[in-house]
Structure 1
Amino acid sequence: MVYYNYSSGSSQGSDKVCQNSLPVFDEDKGWKYSNSRIYHVSTEKMTWDEGRKACKEKEADLVIINSREEQILVTGLTKNQNAWIGLTDGDSEGVWKWVDDSALTTGFWRSGEPNSYAGDEDCVVTGYGSDPVNNWADYPCSDRFIWVCERPFDSGYQPPKGDT
């Protein structure tokens, strides 16, 4: 469990819980903290849309990967399994956008990707292949993979019941 001390304004692990602390999220439930963000890695496989809906229910969204360091982090969190991220070209073929409508500026595509190999491949997984960095691939959004949610770390956030 990670706690936020509202007196000091800092977060800390359960071994340092003190008076004036509130639970923020539980790492045992799939939430992980890094660089002022928290991430949730699912254990069940869903379509891209279902994964995004599940993230929204957790007051988060599919992960937006903004740096090489974050890409390596997400690859590690997913243990290099194929996992949905928040990137799609569903609105316009070949125009990749994140779930917040920002354009893709830095990509970590595996060699030969994106390729629309199966035809309509509008959604992106990370973890395709053994490279911890360049491992994105486009897949049909109806395929089923685990997914990664992301949200800002917010000291006042109280997770929905069942996510503590």
Structure 2
Amino acid sequence: MKILAVAALLCALMALTPAAPAAEEEPEEAPAEEELDVEKRASCNCGWTLIGQRSFLYVSDRMTWDDAEKNCISLGGHLASVHSQWEYDQIREVFSDPTNEKPDTWIGGSDRKQEGVWRWTDGSSFNFRKWCTGEPNNLRSNQNCLHMVYKGYKCWDDLWCNELRPSLCAHLINSTMKILAVAALLCALMALTPAAPAAEAEPEEAPAEVSNFLAAPEEELEEALEAVEKEEPEDEKAPAEELDVEKRTCRWTRIGRRSYVFIPRPLTWAQAERNCVALGGHLASVHSIWEYNKIRRLINARAKGSPATWLGGSDQRQEGVWRWTDGSSFNFRKWCCGEPNNGAGSNQDCLQVNYSAHKCWDDLWCHHRRPSVCARGW
């Protein structure tokens, strides 16, 4: 409440203070940078994956349960707690790999304080259980720490705490930062409201780039894609007849409510989006770690490897504000460490996946050629 009160006072000051003409321009530039910074902090540090209101990090180094908890605390969190089947399924996907078996892994449950009374190290309620049959059994006494077992039923087991295992850390997204981000947006709206007539002219100044696709008519999408293609070097352009060659050979795969197809032909990002539209969809968007890992498995199965591949993300309309070409919410992120970095200010505006050994996301120059994944249907 104190934070909201301060934010309200700031908003009131912004709304009531008649700024000088020169000063009016500065707040318009600040929100984009602040929004980007907030997004980076909300997405957490390198290697963390956002699931719901928390971020998770898989630590592959094998440690005792106590050392794993100390390590998580040093990273700003605790060993992970689990509170629903959905969350458990998502957590298991955090360190899923299309080619590797998942190892047994420490999470934050323990009954050291009182035998048989299990608690999470983060202090949250122990309101969900996924014990294997016959567990916890405290075999030969003092099995007081919880690990996820991936053989058989992918359930939980109690284990001696001095065993060495990988671990999973979690920390809560900073709610204060979220409140400040919302407050900043409200303040920006209040500051811009008196200048409504002038704001109407802004769309004319915005570049007609690919990001105009959001909720845009088909003719605007065409103009946007053409604008991006004009920026491509001549040797990167492909004849139009090449773009729909996959129509005859598509192998769509159902994942959740949508169907996906891997396009092996290397295309620029704009060409890949055109091709997906011709096939009745768009470059794929991603909305959960489960969905992302399914897409990675699809790429791996079709390409017999993990090549860097285009998906439908772009920040061409506003640097640092990423959007999907299908117009869906950009509510999941899997950026690599230090990404997106815009290539040190050199217009890396399109999203590729399977980047680096971590198989995460990277921003890249849109004229580069990559395979792609299309998706259609909801």
Query: TM-score when scaled to structure 2?
Result: 0.31
- Please point out which of 317, 340, 351 is paired with 1:114: 340
Unaligned runs of 5+ in 1: 1-27, 154-164
Report the equivalent of 1:123. 350
Contact 2:284–2:374, Cα closer than 8 Å, also in 1: yes
Q: Which amino acid aligns with 2:265?
A: E
The percentage of aligned residue pairs carrying the same residue is: 29
1:1-164 to structure 2, matched below 5 A, reads 29-79=250-300, 80-117=306-343, 119-132=346-359, 135-152=360-377
Change (3 A) 1:35 1:103: closer
Which deviations, in whole Å up to 9, do the C-alpha atoms of 1:72-95 show, x marking residues without a partner?
111111222111111000001111
Letter in 2 for 1:147: S
In structure 2, distance between residues paired with 1:120 and 1:142: 11
Work out the CA distance in 2 between the residues paired with 1:101 and 1:56: 13
Task: Kindly provide the amino acid, as one letter, of the partner of residue 131 in structure 1.
Answer: H
AA partner of residue 84 (structure 1): W
Q: What is the root-mean-square deviation of aligned Cα atoms in Å?
A: 1.6
DSSP-derived class of the 2:342 partner: coil
Aligned length: 124
**Which of structures 1 and 2 has the bigger CA Rg?**
2
Partner in structure 1 of residue 115 of structure 2: none
Counterparts of 2:268 and 2:315, CA distance in 1: 15
Report the 3-state secondary structure (helix = DSSP H, G, I; strand = E; otherwise coil) of the residue aligned with 2:338: coil
Gaps of 5+ in 2: 1-248, 301-305
- Aligned equivalents of 2:296, 2:333: Cα separation in 1: 14
